[in-house]
Amino acid sequence: MIGIGWQSDSSRLAYDIMRWILLSFFSLFLLVIACSNQQDDRGPSDLAREARRLSRIYPLPASVKFPADNHWSEAKVHLGRLLFFDPILSGKQDIACATCHHPDNGFAESRDLSIGTNGIGFGNSRHFKQPNEIPLVKRNAHTILNTAFNGIDLGQRYDPNNAPMFWDNRANSLEEQALMPMKALEEMRGTEISEEEIVQVVIKRLRTIDAYVELFEKAFPDSDQPIDSINLAKALATYERTLVNNNTRFDMFKRGEAEAMSLGEKEGMQLFIEVGCAACHNGPMLSDYKTHVLGVPENDKLTELDRGFEDRFHFRTPTLRNLRFTFPFMHNGTMHSIREILEFYQDISQGKSRNPNVPIDSIDPLARALKLKVKDFGPIENFLLSLNDDNYDRRIPAEVPSGLPVGGNISSR
Ligand code: HEC
Ligand code: HEC
């Protein structure tokens, strides 16, 4: 019958072929959709397997890698340190990198959200001078400690030219990151100089100061014009790569000193892995350097929602090293204790989102799969405290070549 049909009617043949092609495309389309949703369709046992595969934690390497085009040199570190503390890099010459990343606070800040230019004072006593038209910085300041290792993976590999920076990974190396705070209105630029002009304005200022001319020549002996934006970024990045504290009790234990961690800390470490924290907080930095949705509550001091990476409420997994200094916690500093954070994770694992803009289904399955009991809180907290290390370069220059206040307007502390 069919044979007769298609032989006698060629338009029917065309119709059948068309239908076959459309059906094939439709099946292919369904297959693609099914595959792209695979992540959310993972069954509990697949997720558990994946979490176990990821859950490995290591000590940090003993030394730091420098990029091929920005080797370490004492001259560069010295110059980078002076620049880091010198408010000459800011539009109104009132704020330095060190204002928000000060060695007295582990190169981070004790405020939830930073106060940039037009601010005065240090840490919690920092406030805006009046009148003020500068908004708060919308995120919590990271520590610079160990950013030399940003991006380090489960195989302990990392590439200083491809090192994710910021809560949304929007910069890719310390060099690329270094000029960004200078260009940001609410951090260092202010309103008087445009984003396009600010770096050149700063370069011109540096060229007028003899001490900087000499320091740049020593640090970059092969450059015809040593003071330029590339070398400015390179010097800052070289100094930052020396800000490392890789000898926590955890590192010592993992390198073979069995007694370096207490029994309680070791128990906490085991639970940290079993509960599922290490599915994201893994590798030597206890971060996978990926972005995830957790639905941290918004900070009420901000007038707009912070939608994070790709506007999807994704934020990068932070390192759990030096929590003593990264306090207050999360991308917007809204959490104040490890216990509060553990309660937040417990809510997620019980199907509750704390952020009304982030439905529970959109929260990362690895967070929803956490198996967290109240009795685990204490030991996990003990383990996290073994990741602090007070031993790092705290040197503050006595003065900076511009003659401006070292570290910006922080002296009212
Ligand atoms: C007004 C305070 C402020 C100043 C000044 C400032 N920062 Fe930051 N810094 C922050 C905040 C806030 C973040 C997090 C921003 C984000 O992730 O969106 C940050 C993030 C960083 C990071 C990313 C670390 C990581 O792990 O991703 C680096 C590196 C850094 N700053 C270096 C610098 C340097 C270098 C300067 C000076 C040129 C500087 N900062 C000036 C507040 C400041
Ligand atoms: C799905 C991945 C994931 C899992 C699982 C996870 N975390 Fe996190 N963690 C993150 C992300 C992402 C952030 C930052 C979220 C934000 O700021 O919006 C974070 C933030 C934190 C912070 C704040 C650090 C700081 O300096 O601000 C702590 C502490 C923390 N997590 C501990 C834990 C513990 C303990 C567990 C297990 C109970 C855990 N995390 C499980 C991804 C994860």
C-alpha distances in Å from residue 249, one per residue of 55, 176, 259, 262: 20, 32, 9, 9
Model confidence at 348, pLDDT cuts 50, 70, 90, reads very high
Rounded to whole angstroms, how far apart are CA atoms 54 and 272?
A: 13
> For a substitution probing ligand 1, which of 85, 99, 142, 319 has the most ligand atoms within 8 Å of its CB?
142
Rounded to whole angstroms, how far apart are CA atoms 357 and 294?
A: 11
Looking at all shown ligands, the one closest to residue 410's CA atom is 1
345 CA distance to ligand 2 centroid (A)?
8
pLDDT at 10: 58
Mean pLDDT, to the nearest integer, of 136-153?
98
Model confidence at 411, pLDDT cuts 50, 70, 90, reads confident
Cβ of 142 closer than 6 Å to ligand 1, yes or no, is: yes
Half-sphere exposure of 141 (CA within 13 A, CB side): 26
317 CA distance to ligand 2 centroid (A)?
6
Which residue's C-alpha comes closest to atom 40 of ligand 1?
97
Model confidence at 20, pLDDT cuts 50, 70, 90, reads confident
98 CA distance to ligand 1 centroid (A)?
10
Which is higher by pLDDT, 258 or 16? 258
Residue keyed to tokens 């600010």? 198
Please provide the average confidence, as pLDDT, over all residues in the chain: 93
Mean pLDDT, to the nearest integer, of 259-275?
98
- pLDDT over 90 (residue 38): no
Cα-to-chain-centroid distance, residue 312: 16
Amino acid at 138: K
Q: What is the dihedral of CA 257, 263, 264, 266, to 10 degrees?
A: 50
Looking at all shown ligands, the one closest to residue 169's CA atom is 1
- Percentage of the chain beyond pLDDT 90 is 86
pLDDT digits (tens, 9 = 90+) for 49-94: 888 999 999 999 999 999 999 999 999 999 999 999 999 999 999 9
For residue 328, whether the previous peptide bond is cis, meaning omega lies within 30 degrees of 0, is yes
The answer to whether the beta carbons of residues 288 and 54 sit under 8 Å apart is yes
pLDDT digits (tens, 9 = 90+) for 62-72: 999 999 999 99
Q: Angle at CA 406, nearest 5°, toward 400 and 412?
A: 160
> For a substitution probing ligand 2, which of 291, 341, 347, 362 has the most ligand atoms within 8 Å of its CB?
341
233 CA distance to ligand 1 centroid (A)?
13
pLDDT at 405: 98
Model confidence at 45, pLDDT cuts 50, 70, 90, reads confident
> For a substitution probing ligand 2, which of 144, 281, 315, 339 has the most ligand atoms within 8 Å of its CB?
281
Q: Which has the minimum average pLDDT: 13-22, 267-276, 311-320?
A: 13-22
pLDDT digits (tens, 9 = 90+) for 237-250: 999 999 999 999 99
Looking at all shown ligands, the one closest to residue 177's CA atom is 1
pLDDT at 23: 67
Kindly give, in sequence order, each residue whose CB lies less than 8 Å from that of residue 410, ignoring residues fewer than 6 positions away.
Answer: 99, 102, 120, 121, 122, 126
137 CA distance to ligand 1 centroid (A)?
10
pLDDT at 378: 98
Model confidence at 43, pLDDT cuts 50, 70, 90, reads confident
Determine whether 278 is exposed, middle or buried from the number of CB atoms within 10 Å of its CB (0-12, 13-18, 19+): buried
